[in-house]
Structure 1
């Protein structure tokens, strides 16, 4: 995986977590989302989506499990 990840001053690799409206996603993803109205995306510093999960807490856990430092985007 050659994805560019931003490094902060502490040497941590940063990723960004943001809420995504299911209605804005492709149809096949909407179908998989079931009755959820919102999912959470994890992005690198270039905006490339690395993951899409059902809840915010899971997005942060997933990032940390991969030695990344998640930051919330509002």
Structure 2
């Protein structure tokens, strides 16, 4: 089953970047996060997490490298 991808007017797939508190993540992820308090998650339009990274800028760069259009979620 294919997951629908939201399309913007330029034909690019949109993904959403949001801040995630490390304290709210599973123990295994918290251990890997080291001394970070926040990570950045990249989600598709259905809310499925595609990536979890330490840096906001990196989240946007990774999305663009995969031909996705990142949008910040506040």
Q: Would you say how many aligned residue pairs link Structure 1 and Structure 2?
A: 73
Q: How does 1:1-74 map to 2 (within 5 A)?
A: 2-74=2-74
Q: Secondary structure at the match of 2:10?
A: coil
Which residues of structure 2 form unaligned runs of 5+? none
Determine the C-alpha separation between the residues in 1 that align with 2:40 and 2:15. 12
Gapped runs of 5+ residues in structure 1? none
Cα deviation 1:6-37 (Å, max 9, x = unaligned): 11111111000000000000000000000000
